[in-house]
Amino acid sequence: MNMVKGQAGGLVKICGLRQPEHAAVAAGAGADFLGFIFAPARRRITPEAAGEAIAAAKATTGGSSVLAVGVFVDADADEINEVVELAALDLVQLQGDEPPALLSRLTRPVIKAFRPAPGTPTDAIEPVLAGFRAVANAPLLFLIDGYVAGVAGGAGARADWSLARDLAPSWPLSLAGGLTAENVGAAVGTVMPAAVDVSSGVETAGEKDPVKIVEFIVGAKRAFAETRSG
């Protein structure tokens, strides 16, 4: 199951979904990944509710390749694997300070997130990425998120695009943090990531906005297509 290479138009993840109708909108608009939060957070969802949203999304697309991602922060392998089965997840995103050894105990492919502080040099983070690439069930994607002290993610802070741009040629990179329909084109053109990931950037008053979801996906896919054709 190769979810990174060979994907025309690039990959788009809509994260922090909680309502079946929003998951269905995202899937119908062409999202590749749907993210569901299982860590303590405002957007946290139960495995049962996530399963309902995933079923609605896959029904919308006739069971196409849209994939469900469970987001966890410093959970143990048994907890993660249990939620994976209850919610019928396709992938796991690790958003905390998980050690590389954890990945080999997980039953699904992994996206590993990092929140480097602005100005972090590539030679400081690349050995960390290499440590994860060396283990069994190595990450399919390395996600670079915005940095906010004490916050594991979803804060809407812009990631360090310069760092991400330097990493993208050598690593399967997903870019998150502060992305919106208005700036995702510039982000894709600057960083050239394999994927983009958004949560707060497709919300209005703290709730997912179907119009913003569609606009983001369309804008991101257009930007990926333009970078490939250019």
Q: Which helix (H) or strand (E) holds 114?
A: strand 110-114
Give every CB contact of residue 158 below 8 A, 6+ residues apart in sequence.
146, 177, 178
Domains detected in the chain: 11-229 (3.20.20.70)
| pLDDT, position 44 | 97
> Kind of pairing, strands 207-208 and 203-204?
antiparallel
Nearest Cα neighbor of 114 from 157, 138, 72, 143 is 143
| pLDDT, position 225 | 94
Beta bridge partners of residue 44, listed in sequence order:
37
| pLDDT, position 8 | 44
What predicted TM-score, i.e. pTM, was given to this entire model? 0.93
Answer whether 215's CB lies under 8 Å from 204's CB.
Answer: no
- Quick check: 119 pLDDT over 90? no
| pLDDT, position 3 | 56
Answer whether 128's CB lies under 8 Å from 114's CB.
Answer: yes
| pLDDT, position 6 | 39
pLDDT one-digit tens code per residue, 182-230: 999 999 999 999 999 999 999 999 999 999 999 999 999 999 999 887 6
pLDDT one-digit tens code per residue, 99-117: 999 999 999 999 999 999 8
As a whole number of angstroms, the distance between CA 201 and CA 8 comes to: 24
Tell me the residue type at 181: A
Tell me the residue type at 47: P
As a whole number of angstroms, the distance between CA 53 and CA 37 comes to: 12
Beta bridge partners of residue 93, listed in sequence order:
71, 111
Answer whether 112's CB lies under 8 Å from 132's CB.
Answer: yes
pLDDT one-digit tens code per residue, 56-87: 999 988 766 899 999 999 999 999 999 999 99
- Quick check: 156 pLDDT over 80? no
Question: How far separated are the first and last CA of the chain, in Å rounded?
Answer: 28
| pLDDT, position 130 | 98
Q: Rounded to the nearest 5 degrees, what angle is found at the Cα of 55, between the Cα atoms of 29 and 69?
A: 70
Model confidence at 1, pLDDT cuts 50, 70, 90, reads very low
Task: Return the structure tokens found at 230.
Answer: 């250019």
- Quick check: 5 pLDDT over 80? no
